[in-house]
Amino acid sequence: MRFKRVCCPFRRLTRIVRITKTPVVKPTLESLEQTYRRPLFDLIQESRRVFLEFWPKNEVQLCTLLSVKTGGCSEDCGYCAQSAHYNTGLQKERLMTVDEVLPVAKTARENGSTRFCMGAAWKGVRDGDAKFETMLETVREVSKLGMEVCVTLGQLGDIEARKLKEAGLTAYNHNIDTSPEHYKKIVSTHSFEDRLNTIGSVQRAGLSVCCGGIIGMGETETDRLRMLEVISNFNPQPESVPINSLMPMPGTPLANSPQVDPFDLVRMIACTRIAVPKAKVRLSAGRTRLSDEVQALCFFAGANSIFYGEKLLTADNPEAEKDRALLAKLGLETLEPDMSLAAPNIDPNLPASPSIGCCGGPAKCEDVAPAKVGCC
């Protein structure tokens, strides 16, 4: 058996390892800061190396996102035009029926999408509710189309997560949005811990977790990396990590936020690829503000998934034809759907998660409720 000496990007030490894939090392905030602040080309070179180890083909996952219930949300997320707390001019719409969703899903499939994502603007779902039964039926029917199926329905518990998996759901999206410290400045109607509790239910059901965040909401560089620290220390790590650049929505508290520096986005993509090497890193909201060249740099740095189609819930997105042209220029193919996709394996040598507590996580034990977020 052959061995070689390698330097771990998150630790200043050298280890002897078998010549296989680079081991996944759960990063700390300090190690993430060191990685993020490397010269840009050095950072991208490292993220590209990690990317090619785990994703050797030039492939990008194409996802379509549909808002199946728009507006009137009870939550006060400061970035969201769908909140009932703000006067954004968005018209409230009822929950779409299965018959209304299916044609959209079929069109997405015909246009090349391999994952169909559905989002609903409300606090969450509970077993027995009519709206949850409608979503279960919709998931069952969409899953028959040969695409991966993802939903983002807000908060849920173990029962709801299990029923979604039984209906054929591939993954559940529930972003943590930002760092635990900055979160209370963005939303007050639920807590960071509430987000983690939902993710825990999704993990216990055996579903894949899609979890990322948003940059450009007035957070610091440390906040961005704290967010990534929490995400990368999930056990198991998320199957997908969307990185969104804020799209300021008129009428929301963040309407006048400045545009994210494109190089900050590239750095965030690269760090995410290094920290969560097996995940699909999704270049999400904000692409309409990016040039083809910046998007190409993001793909090179480790992004391998995009939302495909002209709308992201309520925000604009590049036209499908423009995306197809860009991918063709870059020689990138479409990642085929994996209908048997299983959730990543739990590492038995690491604490259960999600957690922001004492088990190697960012917060102090007294800052979280151990029974709720898996703190040791």
For the question of residue 63 being annotated catalytic, the response is: no
Residue 41: partners with Cβ closer than 8 Å, 6 or more residues away:
none
Q: Is the alpha carbon torsion for 139, 145, 148, 150 positive or negative?
A: negative
Of the candidates 80, 211, 298, 359, the residue annotated as catalytic is 80
Question: Is 150 designated active site?
Answer: yes
Q: Which of 117, 211, 298, 375 is catalytic?
A: 117
**63, 77, 211, 375: which is the annotated catalytic residue?**
77
Rounded to 5 degrees, what are φ and ψ at 232?
-75, -15
- Catalytic: 73? yes
Active-site residue, selected from the candidate residues 115, 224, 267, 282: 282
Is 77 a residue of the active site?
yes
Question: Catalytic: which of 63, 150, 298, 375?
Answer: 150
> Which H, E and C letters describe the chain, residue by residue?
CCEEEEECCCCCCEEEEECCCCCCCCCCHHHHHHHHCCCHHHHHHHHHHHHHHHCCCCEEEEEEEEEEECCCECCCCCCCCCECCCCCCCCCCCCCCHHHHHHHHHHHHHCCCCEEEEEECCCECCCCCHHHHHHHHHHHHHHHHCCEEEEECCECCHHHHHHHHHHCCCEEECCCECCHHHHCCCCCCCCHHHHHHHHHHHHHCCCEEECCEEECCCCCHHHHHHHHHHHHCCCCCCCEEEEEECCCCCCCCCCCCCCCCHHHHHHHHHHHHHHCCCCEEEECCCHHHCCHHHHHHHHHHCCCEEECCCEECCEECCCHHHHHHHHHHHCCEECCCCCCCCCCCCCCCCCCCCCCCCCCCCCCHHHCCHHHHCCC
Any catalytic annotation for residue 375?
A: no
Which is catalytic among the residues 63, 73, 271, 298?
A: 73
- Please say if 289 is a catalytic residue: no
Catalytic residue among 63, 210, 211, 298: 210
Residues acting as catalytic residues: 73, 77, 80, 117, 150, 210, 282
